[in-house]
Structure 1
Amino acid sequence: MNQLQTYLQAFFKLKRGGTKYGLAPHKPILLLTLVELIEKGFDQDNHFQVNGDLVGIFQENWRLLFRQEGS
């Protein structure tokens, strides 16, 4: 199995909480945010700090990827 398939399979197997609209999107969006931070060189020894970079990129990804009911 190639690396992309491995990651896709892992994303599909994520345990996610439920909402009245379906599965909660927070965990997959956070993981995508962490991947983006790694690509930009923000990770330090596989540790992440909750800071403006992480929060800002998470919020940007949230706006791009999540559409609330009624929006």
Structure 2
Amino acid sequence: MGIPVVLIAKNQENINRFSAIKGIIPIYTYDDLKNNRINFNPKSLNIEDLKQYMLQNLKLSILKKMGEKIDEN
């Protein structure tokens, strides 16, 4: 949606909850917050291509669940 995001996980172990977005935005911890290692002015990301892939994946998943044959490649 073009909204800059700063994500702060509770701790290093908690970061695994956000594995789906780990390569898209930085994930910080409270330790990073305490030690001033957070960029509070992130740039908006252009994820239009990613959104289109996700929508296509959703559409194909629904069609498959409905019994239609799809090319899974």
Q: Normalised by the size of structure 1, how large is the TM-score?
A: 0.32
- Answer with 1 or 2: which has the greater Rg: 2
Q: Which has the higher contact order (CA 8 A, sep 6+)?
A: 2
Q: Tell me the TM-score normalised to structure 2 length.
A: 0.32
